Chains A and B, each alone.
Chain A
Amino acid sequence: MSSEVKFTDFKSDKQPTWCPGCGDFGTMNGMMKALAETGNSPDDTFVVAGIGCSGKIGTYMHSYALHGVHGRALPVGTGVKLANPDLEVMVAGGDGDGYSIGAGHFVHAVRRNVDMTYVVMDNRIYGLTKGQASPTSRSDFETSTTPEGPQQPPVNPLALAFASGASFIAQSFSSDALRHQEIVQAAIEHDGFGFVNVFSPCVTFNDVDTYDYFRDSLVDLEEEGHDPTDRDAAKEKILEADKEYMGVIWQDEDATSYEATHGVDANMSEIPDGAPDGAMDLVREFY
């Protein structure tokens, strides 16, 4: 089946309501292409999305999907994957969804290392609520709720992931279609939790972190000859707060996925039509 799947099969017939020029178009296209390229089909793929502009992705893609509550997409994805490890699970969210309301879940999903892909559309602002500061907004970024800027340092999502024991950390740019697709593909192929922070500019409310800004500032790690399996090199890149990198930054190829550690291999949707064989032993234990 996989060879017949085209990336357009992952497109729903619903027209996105994202603003013209929104970075999320490119982010989503790359995700769909990466899914098709890695041999997945819409019937065997589950996309979980949070709330906000990024959360709409479940509607615009065609697959099994859940549009959850704000910040809780990662636990949903975890449940889906553990209940049926045959499914390809992709979780999408925004910077508010992932690093603010869902920050706790992010840390623990990273630690758990369930084999799924997490794509964060990072536009460094709250778009759908019309322009408030997000956890990745610059400290002097003036918004309706922070007229003088948040005056606190932005979250460094890569460092947060690294400190939490991530096995795969990457960063991409929605506008660089080919590299973005390659990076998401690498995350899908990674055996464990593949985390990709995607710069996905908000053309309506963020006039600082623009396409031009990223185009000018982004350094492609691949071109730099960075070895993502070199832990020290990865740490150095991640902690360089004033530089914007693109590419796979860190990949622990020896990490063990949650599924492998916990013996997760069953499709739990298949159950007997009565109590399972041996159930009476559960009672006898109480003698």
Chain B
Amino acid sequence: MAEDFNWAIGGEAGDGIDSTGKIFAQALSRAGRHVFTSKDFASRIRGGYTAYKVRTSVDDIQSVVDRLDLLVALTQRTIDENLDELHENSAIIYDGERSWEAEIPDEMYAVDVPLKSLAEEAGGAIMRNVVALGAACELADFPIENLDESLEKRFGDKGEKIVENNKEAARLGKQYVQDEYGTLSTEDFDFELETTDADYVLLNGDEAIGMGAIAAGCRFYAGYPITPATDVMEYLKGRIEHFGGQVVQAEDELSAINMALGAARAGARSMTATSGPGIDLMTETFGLVATSETPLVIADVMRSGPSTGMPTKQEQGDLNMALYGGHGEIPRFVLAPTTIDECFWKTVEAFNLAEKYQLPVYLLADLSLAVTEQTFAPEAFDMDAVEVERGKVVDDAEIEAWLDEEGRFTPHAATEDGISPRAFPGTVDGAHMSTGLEHNELGRRTEDTDVRMEQVEKRQRKVDTAIEREDWNVREYGNPDADTLVVSWGSNEGALVEALETLEANDVDVRVLSVPYIYPRPDLSEDVAAANQTIVVECNATGQFADLVEHDVLERVDRVNKYDGVRFKADELAVDIEAAMEEA
């Protein structure tokens, strides 16, 4: 059967689903296999259905699919919730000794393992999930030794005894399955998860954003906990301090962005991250950041909205807000990473752009990027390739050139490229005030019509400069000569790239452009003009990016939208694209 193997563990929140899934994912990654994980979770701490899914292959994988080969079900609901993805040769591990009687469709392989009893035998019922992992290793023919390091990493803090007990629990699970079911080697279920020598790292998008921030020299982070952005703060806390930085948990998002603004004014590379509701609160200060020309990176890890929406579900619904949010006209950049490794690189780029052009930069990520983990070669995060460009910072020696005839520093000098000098506090003769009021070159309030226009034009001019100087590129896949153009932004790229294989197999030829920049963005007019049909794929109902493309190219485009709260899956997307092509 296919080398591509899909495994999941599901139960109630609080059952240790997450850590069990992660142990397995890490074991696979360490064994040199590609891994892509996804999570089903509810906005509650205990109870309710939750699942951790792991897709693995020796080949590179970048998305989830609609198939589940092996399910560890701690509750009946886990089986029911996943019936769509289970197929007739799926195997389900469950504990027949538990109080619920598993209803497993006849055609599937029911693997009854006394998880609790075996865990108790190994030293404690709490290890029942690890027993299930051992059983899964046997069924998927994955060397159980690979679990050991993951167990050490997970339980090492708790002492050697706990680690040994867990290893024993896994072995008991494996042994039980071997004794009772063989390796379940049937014609249709004969997985053999081979290992390779490859070295992979396994991380999610929030972690990649945090790592990118430290690499780029970000030293100040203020935030307020919110799903699904909190992992950025949790990652930075305890790490950024090693590099001389600070993480502050603010009293609210209003405070968070203002603290970040203050740190940026003091010369720090500074950042905050939140999700849609937090962006709403930050929007007032966002205008001040732009008008005072302060470099700041604001990550919006999107979730389903509006209002509280579905906090644990996927959506790409904040594009318009990132692009237009705030009163007045606010110069800003909006970057949208398309993959987890790009979460790292776009964060680095966001800091450089923010400082080079002295404006706020939105990093528009989404829940799918934030909470799912993927394997990468470590070189994907090559720290030697990180460049730090601070823009027009002037020091004591250089400031003379930027003083007016009365010796006053001109932080908003209306330069040709629109970019003014920047003096960090402490710079001699650089003292100046910044304000959200319209101001002159000195930063002082004005209502003078000419100065108002000069400053508005100056702020816009630096955006024009950036459009001209930077490479607002696009990521391209598929057949460059295909008549059908598929355009995407954000986390859909992985599923699209995989969908291409299915489409190719069906003799469907498409060209895919994945756009990592919302504003400024690459000019797609020639690409659209060259195609017979353009389809824009995004996780929202109204087609916010499709609207932008139509605006740019003055042509109608077709849309594939998904707004049920779940990310695109590769196989599903292939079907949707074919359907959109047939409709045209």
Please give the residue numbers on chain A whose beta carbons come within 8 Å of chain B beta carbons, in ascending order. Answer: 12-14, 42-48, 58-59, 62-69, 72, 74-84, 86-87, 104-105, 107-108, 262-264, 266-269, 271-276, 278-280, 282-284, 286-287
Contacts and interface: CB of A to CB of B under 8 A. Distances in A.
A65 B285 CA distance: 16
Among A69, A76, A79, A273, the one with the most B-chain Cβ atoms within 10 Å of its Cβ is: A79
13 contacts: A75-B222, A77-B262, A78-B259, A83-B264, A83-B267, A104-B255, A108-B255, A267-B267, A269-B424, A275-B386, A279-B215, A286-B207, A287-B30
A286 B201 contact: yes
B426 A274 contact: no
Given A77-B262, A79-B262, A83-B270, A266 B244 contact: yes
Contact of A79 (B244, B251, B252, B259): B259
Contacts of A280: 378, 383
Contacts of B199: 287
Nearest to A280: B383
B499 interface: no
Contact of A59 (B211, B214, B246, B433): B433
A247 B284 CA distance: 36
B263 interface: yes
B263 A82 contact: yes
A63 to B, nearest CB: 5
Contacts of B258: 68-69, 72, 75-76, 79
A100 to B, nearest CB: 14
B254 interface: yes
Q: Which 7 A-B pairs have the closest CB atoms?
A: A79-B262, A269-B267, A268-B268, A271-B217, A75-B258, A286-B201, A67-B435
Interface in B163-185: none
Contacts of A286: 201-203, 207
Contacts of A62: 431
Nearest to B428: A43
A75 B259 CA distance: 5
Contact of A67 (B241, B384, B408, B437): B437
Contacts of B244: 266, 268
Contacts of B425: 43-44, 46, 64, 80, 84, 87
Contacts of A12: 433
B430 interface: yes
Interface footprint category on B: 35 or more
B431 A68 contact: no
A83 B220 contact: yes
A284 B379 CA distance: 10
Contacts of A283: 201, 211, 378, 381, 383
Given A79-B266, A263-B241, 7 more contacts: A69-B258, A83-B264, A268-B266, A268-B268, A271-B217, A286-B207, A287-B30
B266 A46 contact: yes
Contacts, number: 212
A264 to B, nearest CB: 6
B276 interface: no
A280 B258 CA distance: 31
Nearest to A88: B425
A267 B424 CA distance: 11
B288 A68 contact: yes
A79 B222 contact: yes
Interface in B428-479: 428-437, 444-445
B539 interface: no
A80 B436 CA distance: 17
A44 B202 contact: no
B230 to A, nearest CB: 18
Given A43-B430, A79-B260, A72 B254 contact: yes
B387 interface: yes
Nearest to A9: B431
Contact of A282 (B29, B215, B251, B408): B215
B201 A287 contact: yes
B100 interface: no
Contact of A268 (B216, B248, B252, B267): B267
A82 B265 contact: no
Contact of B436 (A42, A69, A74, A108): A69
Given A76-B261, A79-B262, A268-B244, A276 B267 contact: no
A45 B426 CA distance: 8
A69 B244 CA distance: 29
B243 interface: yes
Contacts of B434: 65-67
A59 B243 CA distance: 35
A209 B433 CA distance: 31
A266 B266 CA distance: 12
Given A263-B241, A269-B424, A274-B386, A284 B268 contact: no
B514 interface: no
B149 to A, nearest CB: 9
